[in-house]
């Protein structure tokens, strides 16, 4: 939270942020430095990057991904990694255009190569058209979009020769997904939340350098750094149980500062054994249609494509 007339506990300057869960008072410079250092420590702790990696930074155009692009562009300057910004255009009318241009502009400011792919070019339809063709709405738009976006990011990473995909999932995102999987009984997916998880064969490593940082702090970092905010919200953002879990966790944090951080630590202790296991049997399965790693005969992406194609054909 922001504060006034307090001194920074590190340099003595004017405090602009009170980190309630630790009691720290931070000035503008020290606050920004603290997030950059947290990101660096997370990368080091989970061995996310290696010398010579080409890192595809998934940039949606939102505050989190633009902040990640900003910090990684600084952290990799002194090392042997190369970064490329990759953006997915889902084809959401009235929303995606602004985000793509923000991503393109912010990458150019940092002399970072920019690469964009679209649902239309990869799958033959936009998200809007996919939802129009969906037989029912028992599955949320966010679920359909999330599955297709993950595939699109992997394909974009392959196109730019990336060995690593870095996404801007933060501590709040981690906890929300953790509770979604718990409440839906999908315990098998919990292992994929582990930040140090080995990738499936043939896929780039996926890393989350912001996984130990609060969403609120990333937003404040973006504000202090002059990173532009997207003005148009995603029209599907309030679908599904994620919004309710987000609000529940935010209420807990307001009443009990630090509860998100302690819950994250508990979750990591529970996941550490699962994440370190290779789960080779599950990852060795290949989709009969596209040949990519899957948990069944058809991967989730091919199942979505098949459902949409079948429903389109039935309407002809």
Q: How many CB atoms lie within 10 A of CB 116?
A: 15
**SS3 label, residue 203:** coil
Cα separation values, 301 from 65, 110, 122, 305, Å: 24, 33, 11, 6
The pLDDT of residue 240 is 73
Q: How many CB atoms lie within 10 A of CB 126?
A: 18
* Domains detected in the chain: 36-276 (3.40.50.620), 285-316 (no CATH)
User: CA 1 from chain center: how many Å?
Assistant: 23
CA–CA distance, 165 with 156 (Å, rounded to integer): 10
CA–CA distance, 156 with 265 (Å, rounded to integer): 32
> DSSP letter at 193?
G
pTM of the full predicted structure?
Answer: 0.92
Q: Which residues contact 57 (CB under 8 A, 6 or more apart)?
A: 65, 68, 69, 72, 83, 84, 85, 86, 112, 166
SS3 sequence of 28-67: HHHHHHHHHHHHHHHHHHCCCCCCCCEEEEECCCCHHHHH
Q: Which residue has the tokens 């959401």?
A: 92
* pLDDT average per 10 residues of sequence, the chain (316 residues): 79 96 96 98 94 95 96 89 96 90 97 97 93 76 91 97 96 95 83 77 89 98 94 80 93 97 93 56 76 90 91 59
| Bridging pattern class, strands 17-19 and 24-26 | antiparallel
The pLDDT of residue 282 is 46
Sign of CA dihedral 41, 46, 52, 54: negative
């Amino acid at each position: 939270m922001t504060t006034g007339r307090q001194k920074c506990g590190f340099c003595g300057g004017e405090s602009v942020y009170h980190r309630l869960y630790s009691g720290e008072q931070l000035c503008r410079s020290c606050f920004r430095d603290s997030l950059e250092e947290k990101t660096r420590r997370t990368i080091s702790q989970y061995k996310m990057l290696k010398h010579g990696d080409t890192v595809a930074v998934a940039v949606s155009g939102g505050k989190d991904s633009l902040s990640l692009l900003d910090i990684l562009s600084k952290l990799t300057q002194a090392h042997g990694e190369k970064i490329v910004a990759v953006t997915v255009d889902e084809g959401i009318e009235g929303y995606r255009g602004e985000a793509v241009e923000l991503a393109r502009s912010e990458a150019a400011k940092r002399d970072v190569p920019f690469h964009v792919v679209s649902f239309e070019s990869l799958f033959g339809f936009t998200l809007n058209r996919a939802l129009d063709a969906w037989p029912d709405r028992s599955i949320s738009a966010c679920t359909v979009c999330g599955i297709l976006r993950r595939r699109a990011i992997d394909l974009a990473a392959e196109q730019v020769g990336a060995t690593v995909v870095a996404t801007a999932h933060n501590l709040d995102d981690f906890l929300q997904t953790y509770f979604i999987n718990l409440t839906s009984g999908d315990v098998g997916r919990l292992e994929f939340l582990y930040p140090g998880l080995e990738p499936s064969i043939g896929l780039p490593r996926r890393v989350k350098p912001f996984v130990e940082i609060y969403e609120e702090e990333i937003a404040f970092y973006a504000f202090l750094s002059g990173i532009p905010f997207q003005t148009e919200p995603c029209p599907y953002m309030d679908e599904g149980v994620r919004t309710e879990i987000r609000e529940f966790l935010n209420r807990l944090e307001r009443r009990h500062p630090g509860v998100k951080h302690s819950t994250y630590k508990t979750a990591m202790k529970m996941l550490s054994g699962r994440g370190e296991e290779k789960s080779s049997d599950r990852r060795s399965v290949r989709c009969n249609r596209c040949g990519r790693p899957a948990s069944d005969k058809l991967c989730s992406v091919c199942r979505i494509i098949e459902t949409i194609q079948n429903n389109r054909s039935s309407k002809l």
